[in-house]
Amino acid sequence: MADLALAGRGPVLWQPRRLLFWAILIPIGYAAFYHLPFVVFPAAGWTLAAPVAWLPTNLIMAALIGWVILRLDPFEKEPVSLLWACAVWGGTAATLAVIPNRAFLEFLVAVGGTDLSERWGPAIAGPLTEEWLKGIGVLLIMLLCRSHLQRTLDGFILGAAAGLGFQVVENLSYAYTAALNDPNSDWIGAIAVSLSRALVGATSHWVYSALVGFGLGYAITQVQLPWPRRIAGAGLGVLGGWAVHFLWNSPWLANLGLLSLIPKMIIVGLFVWLMYRIPARREFAWFRDQLAGEPPQTITAAELEDLRTLGNRRRARRLVRGLAGGAGERGIQTLHQAQIDLAVALGNLDNPNRDRDVRRARLLISEARAELDRIVPSARRT
């Protein structure tokens, strides 16, 4: 059902007749041929320790963060190809950021000396150059695939995907730097840095860019609002992403060594979580509005509350599993998905197959409810 609804919105990425398509593809191709080789085979030297230490740690980190990103929207999932496009752009931005970062650090040396550049350079240069590079790609992808973006949360998720791609590629360059500069062993340097960056990856680039995407998504999707307010929302999102990136790179509590990362992770994590709850609540409000007025045969008040969060859904499945085993759990899961599909179909006003998808979702709900009532009567589920 959800796939049919998405299909009704037109192609996701392959739109070669549009200039936006080439505005995205050409920088990716340029970076792949002219910049990525210098990340994989740096001019300072090549060592096997860096890619070997980087690969497993970043695969695990990317898998865990990717799992989180895929669950940020509890209702309408973004096309996977769209997430991959943003991640690839993020990796592209990581290779391109080297040049403006170096230029910015040299500028800081010229105006404030080496001490200013070494202490505050990463906090100033990193957010200004990297968030801009990631953000412009996310913006281009959003504009290209506008029909697949419905609400602000979509921007948050796409920004997170771009940030994840960035930090995976950036971690390889850090692994090389640590390996080549470690006085004892390439392996010690590469493994230590790869492990540490993977461990703190929970509050790294993917959360900075999620905030930037939040702002961009607000500006693009909230078409009912006046442009000044939409632009202000975009500015606040970008400023939020820059601020947490600045905090992370700043020398604050540097005298504590690695322990300084703990309060930074707590502050960044809490701030991003609070910001995420804004579009997440709007997402549920959208879902509730789509199904407002539907009869209890379609969705009950209790089922609506069960669908509010992924945690609520797990509790509902556990309850039914306790009453009717695995068959009951599968039944309630099928019913929940059909109800979500109905909301998506109702909300997809531009889909030429909307009426067909709505009818199919209603039929699936009816069939799922009948099967669930056969397994465990509704009176026992409440």
Distances in Å between the Cα of 250 and the Cα atoms of 51, 116, 121, 230, 244 are: 28, 12, 9, 30, 10
Residue 257 lies in a domain: yes
95 and 15: one domain? yes
- The stretch 58-78 carries a mean pLDDT of 96
Q: Read off the pLDDT of residues 361-373 as tens digits, 9 standing for 90 and up.
A: 999 999 999 999 8
Q: Are residues 326 and 260 in the same domain?
A: no
Residues 321 and 233 in one domain: no
In the structure encoding, which two tokens stand for residue 30, read together? 């340029």
Percentage of the chain surpassing pLDDT 90?
A: 85
Q: What is the pLDDT of residue 45?
A: 85
pLDDT of residue 380: 57
In a domain, 165, yes or no: yes
Does any domain span residue 2?
Answer: no
Burial letters 99-128, b for 16+ CB under 10 A, else e: eebeebbeebeeeeeeeebeebbbbbbbbb
Q: Is the pLDDT of residue 379 over 80?
A: no
Residues 190 and 336 in one domain: no
The predicted structure's pLDDT at residue 9:
60
- pLDDT tens by residue, 89-133: 999 999 999 999 999 999 999 999 999 999 999 999 999 999 999
Per the structure, the count of domains in the chain is 2
Query: Across residues 162-180, what is the average pLDDT?
Result: 97
Is residue 323 one of the residues assigned to a domain?
A: yes
Residues 130, 101 contacting (CB under 8 angstroms): yes
Block residue for tokens 């929970």: 202
Long-range contacts of 321-329 (CB under 8 A, 24+ apart): 323/376, 323/380, 323/381, 324/375, 324/376, 327/375, 328/372, 328/375, 328/376
Give yes or no: residues 352 and 220 share one domain: no
Residues in Cβ contact with 275 at an 8 Å cutoff, skipping those fewer than 6 apart:
211, 214, 240
pLDDT at 7 over 80: no
User: What would the pLDDT profile of 247-262 be if each residue is shown by its tens digit?
Assistant: 999 999 888 888 899 9
Q: Is residue 293 part of a domain?
A: no
User: pLDDT averaged over the chain?
Assistant: 93
Domain boundary among 255, 282, 309: 282
Q: Minimal CA–CA distance to 75: which of 347, 353, 344?
A: 344
User: Are 261 and 317 within one domain?
Assistant: no
Q: Please report whether residue 81 resides in a domain.
A: yes
pLDDT at res. 211: 98
Nearest to 209 by CA among 39, 62, 86: 86
User: Where is the domain boundary, 249, 282, 315?
Assistant: 282
Q: Is residue 128 part of a domain?
A: yes
Full domain range(s) for residue 322 = 301-381
d(CA 90, CA 84): 10
Same domain? 311 vs 273: no
- Given this model, what pLDDT does residue 12 score? 86
Answer yes or no: is 1 within a domain.
Answer: no
Return the percent helix, strand and coil in the chain, to nearest 5.
80, 0, 20
pLDDT over 60 at 5, yes or no:
no
Do 250 and 341 lie in one domain? The reply is: no
Is 247 in the same domain as 341?
no
pLDDT over 90 (residue 44): no
Residue 271 in this model has a pLDDT that exceeds 90: yes
Q: Are residues 136 and 191 in the same domain?
A: yes
| Total residues belonging to the chain | 382
What is the per-residue pLDDT across 216-231, written as a single tens digit (0 to 9) for each?
Answer: 999 999 999 999 999 9
Count Cβ atoms below 10 Å from residue 258 Cβ, excluding itself: 9
For residues 168 and 176, give the distance between their C-alpha atoms in angstroms, rounded to a whole number: 13
Instruction: Look at residue 6 in the predicted model and tell me its pLDDT.
Output: 47
179 CB-side CA count, 13 A: 24
Question: Domain check: are 151 and 46 in the same one?
Answer: yes
Q: Calculate what percentage of the chain has a pLDDT beyond 70.
A: 96
Same domain? 236 vs 359: no
Q: Kindly report the CA angle at 330 between 329 and 336, in degrees rounded to 5?
A: 90
The two structure tokens encoding residue 147: 């029909």
